[in-house]
Amino acid sequence: MVPSVVSLGQWVPVRALPGGWCRWRGPDGPAVALTFDDGPDPRTTPAVLDRLDALGLTATFFCLGVHAAAHPDLVREVAARGHQVETHGHRHEHHFARRPGWVRHDLDDALSAMAAAGVRPRWFRPPFGQTTGPTLVEARRHDLRVVLWSAWGREWDEPDAASVARRVTGGLDRGAIVLLHDADVGSPVGSSARAVEALGPIADALAARGLRAVTLDTLVAA
């Protein structure tokens, strides 16, 4: 029943499960967390970073271990440019029907790759948002908190950046955690480029609503 329970947070206005087992939103305050999954990728992540800098936005990047191992300097650049770096697991594979040992080894590998890049994650977003009993147990074993999202762009499914922006801004309320992507992993080429282009309208919506973009740690601490 765990997957059914945790999926509710994407559709109903719950912020987190008791005990910190899973989080979808931050506190009810004038801030949101923009988050990016699936990188880092030298072909796409730098464009995301440059656009965030140009707009004065801060974000949190959930990196895959296999990509962090291949591009540790890019992981360090993300952090050096003022963004938070967390883990998306090691391999971008489904958690459904996985035994606890598989999840444990995947997180072991992910944390090793991140440590080699100089980062010790505190948050974990499972690939595809698939959160099972073993996902939650092994995250807790590794001293990681599971976080999903309350708004997303679905860049792989939308025809253009304007549609991505409309989807995000439709859920851009106080404490929102927004899911976007800085790499085209398992998505059509150009999906992350739509996210980059959508950041301008998203920044405009934040300003109009009196919201600011902060790191996930800052959002939750607030």
Catalytic residues: 37, 181
DSSP string for the chain: -HHHHHHGGGTS---B-GGGS-BSB--SSSEEEEEEES---TTTHHHHHHHHHHHT--EEEEE-HHHHHH-HHHHHHHHHTT-EEEE--SS----TT--HHHHHHHHHHHHHHHHHTT----EE--GGG---HHHHHHHHHTT-EEB--SEE--TTTSSSHHHHHHHHHTT--TTBEEEEESS-SSS-TTHHHHHHHHHHHHHHHHHHTT-EE--HHHHHH-
CA angle 168, 172, 174 (to 5 degrees): 160
